[in-house]
Chains A and B, each alone.
Chain A
Amino acid sequence: EDQVTQSPEALRLQEGESSSLNCSYTVSGLRGLFWYRQDPGKGPEFLFTLYSAGEEKEKERLKATLTKKESFLHITAPKPEDSATYLCAVQPPYNTDKLIFGTGTRLQVFP
């Protein structure tokens, strides 16, 4: 069964303390991997799409990378406003409309 596993489940950081979130997957022939940010009471908001191993995307303090079995979301010098749940989702080759989501990493950044 295709699975997406995110770790850690929760992460507490001090403002300015850089770290990484992990998304590992068992899907073979991945078509794409998506990162979303979800704030409390809101729907997930799109951040990045990665398509091939070695690809990197950046947005402000966030950088997403992709290997053949996992993706990392690196957060550099985070601020309290980066606090949110970060979700990753994979796009399997047999049904590119059907994203498989992980359960997310809940990030809290304290001033």
Chain B
Amino acid sequence: DAGVIQSPRHEVTEMGQEVTLRCKPISGHNSLFWYRQTMMRGLELLIYFNNNVPIDDSGMPEDRFSAKMPNASFSTLKIQPSEPRDSAVYFCASSGGTNSPLHFGNGTRLTVT
């Protein structure tokens, strides 16, 4: 099992540019989560999907952030336009059900200058 795969591992971009982060969940997992981690706030849930349907996006900071899950094996998180305060590590995680633990990818470190 390859685990949750995220790309890119690192992204450096200039303020105002569009950024797209990608995630491939573990095969057979029906829930997918996007988290953001910073030193100050720790891990924060941005949005999650069940069976490819967005369930709760209340953690998405603002309209500049959007996420899609077109099929069971792929999800994207897009920031447009990006701002320096978006700099953080973004994690994707998947799980096989409500009481199943989350399996995290190794994250995308985003730096916006």
Contact = CB atoms under 8 A, between A and B. Distances in A.
Contact of A32 (B31, B41, B99, B103): B99
B45 interface: yes
A49 B45 contact: no
Interface of B: 4, 31, 41-45, 48, 50, 55-56, 91, 93, 98-99, 101-107
Most buried by B among A102, A103, A104: A103
B91 A43 contact: yes
Contacts, number: 49
5 contacts: A42-B106, A44-B104, A49-B99, A97-B56, A99-B102
A interface, over-half SS: loop
A99 B91 CA distance: 14
Interface of A: 31-32, 34, 41-46, 49, 87, 89, 95-99, 101-104
B56 A43 contact: no
B42 A43 contact: no
